[in-house]
Each structure stands twice: as C-alpha cells, then as structure tokens.
C-alpha cells in the first residue's frame, strides 16, 4: 500500500555516510520532532537525478529552510558509499543529507518502488518528494514514470 498524506512514516533503517563511515539511522528517530523535505531518486549519478533533481535541492536549500524546513534529505536505492560520493560530486555539503536505502526497504515500506530491470537497475525507488513533519507526511508528490515535475525543489517551494 502506498503511503498517503497524513500517514506516519513506517519504521525502517536508512544509512547515513559520516566521517566515521556508514551509520544506520531509524526513520522513527530521524524524522521525529522536525520538518524534513525528503526526495527520492531512482539512482545516484543517473542523468535526470544528477542534472536536475539533486542540484535543484542544493540550489534551493536556503529558500526551503527559510520556509521552515529543518533538513533536506535525498534517498535512493544505492549503497551508502555511492550516496556519499554522489553528494560530494554534486557539492551537496550541508545543504542535502544523503541517506542510502541500499536494500530498498524504505521504498518498499512506503509503497513507492519501481522496476528498473529494463535499464539494468533492478528494483528501485520511484521519483518522489514529501514534506515530513514530526514523522507524518504533510505533502506527497509522486512523479509519473519518466517525468520530473512535481518532485522538484521548485514545486516543493510552491507548496510551502
């Protein structure tokens, strides 16, 4: 079942790259007590994700935070090392936190997976964005296959 606006995020683990290496984080703990702009991409270093999606959130980070967002999080079904390298390559710095969903557990738990086998990618997370306030989904923007419109940083700014 796909997560809906008003639903609490399901409990899963994601992996954050830190200076000390990969660190597991619980969604219940990570999203508790703050407003997070979360976006998911089908894959790190893929064309639309690298040219538009992540850079849009890096560029608009200050504007999103000025509208009450405490943190911006990017997730993808990639391992923590790939997510860390992609964040560095995109100069995400402190603007966007990269959280790996290496096994796709989070994408499955929120019901937003896609079959990327035709592209040699296997099961992945769909392209989407959401505003999560204290663990509850306030806004949910799921892209149609092959689209990049409603999950963008610009669209999220309009919603805030």
Which helix (H) or strand (E) segment is 159 a member of? helix 153-159
The one catalytic residue among 37, 49, 74, 131: 49
Strands 128-133 vs 136-142: parallel, antiparallel or unpaired: antiparallel
Look-up of token digits 């997560």: 3
> Can 74 be counted among the known catalytic residues?
no
Strand-pair partners of 15:
24, 100
Please report the DSSP string for 30-94 in residue order: HTTTSEEEEEEES-TT-HHIIIIIHHHHHHTHHHHHHTT--EEEEEESS-HHHHHHHHHHTT-TT
**Nearest 5 degrees, angle CA 35-CA 110-CA 136?**
30
Catalytic residue set? 49
């Amino acid at each position: 079942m796909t997560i809906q606006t008003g639903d609490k995020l399901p409990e899963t683990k994601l992996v954050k790259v830190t200076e000390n290496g990969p660190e597991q984080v619980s969604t219940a703990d990570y999203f508790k007590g703050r407003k997070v702009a979360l976006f998911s991409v089908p894959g790190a270093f893929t064309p639309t994700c690298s040219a538009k999606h992540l850079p849009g959130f890096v560029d608009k980070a200050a504007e999103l935070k000025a509208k009450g967002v405490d943190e911006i999080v990017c997730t993808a079904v990639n391992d923590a090392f790939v997510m860390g390298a992609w964040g560095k390559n995109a100069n995400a710095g402190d603007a966007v936190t990269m959280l790996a969903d290496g096994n796709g557990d989070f994408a499955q738990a929120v019901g937003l997976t896609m079959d990327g086998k035709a592209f040699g990618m296997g099961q992945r997370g769909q392209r989407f964005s959401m505003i999560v306030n204290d663990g509850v989904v306030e806004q949910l923007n799921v892209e149609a296959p092959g689209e990049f419109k409603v999950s963008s940083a610009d669209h999220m700014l309009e919603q805030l």
